Amino acid sequence: MNIVEVKINDICQIALNGRFYVETAPLVEEKLMGVLKAGEKKVVIDFEKVVYISSSGLRVLLAFLKETEKVNAQCVLAGLQPAIQEIFNLSGFNELFKIYDTSEQAVKAF
């Protein structure tokens, strides 16, 4: 899993690349929680290059969402591939997160 952080004005964009599963979930969790600890309040997680997500990845996202609520931050997702979108639909995560087609749309929405 490759993770790239980009700052766009007051928005922190986290681009993920690879498989989001049991082996990479701790790395992603560390990065996401780190941006909250750094004081970021607007976070876009870009899934454009994520090819797989497991329940471990979903757990990390749910924990991150709960943490954003505690610190009055916002998190949106962008660029979900069709297979990933289907997993979100089946698991109900599409109801928990605002999801945009592209990270550019997500950034503009803030």
Which CATH number does the domain housing residue 48 bear?
3.30.750.24
The residue range of the domain holding 76 is: 2-109
The domain total for the chain is 1
The angle formed by the CA atoms of residues 108, 77 and 20, to the nearest 5 degrees, is 145
Give the per-residue pLDDT at 16: 98
Euclidean distance between CA atoms 89 and 74, whole angstroms? 21
Give the per-residue pLDDT at 90: 96
Instruction: List average pLDDT for each run of 10 residues in the chain, which is 110 residues long.
Output: 95 97 97 97 97 96 97 97 96 96 93
Give the per-residue pLDDT at 47: 97
Give the per-residue pLDDT at 20: 97
Give the per-residue pLDDT at 107: 93
Segments of the chain assigned E as strands: 2-8, 11-20, 42-53, 74-78, 98-100
Euclidean distance between CA atoms 18 and 57, whole angstroms? 12
Give the per-residue pLDDT at 82: 96
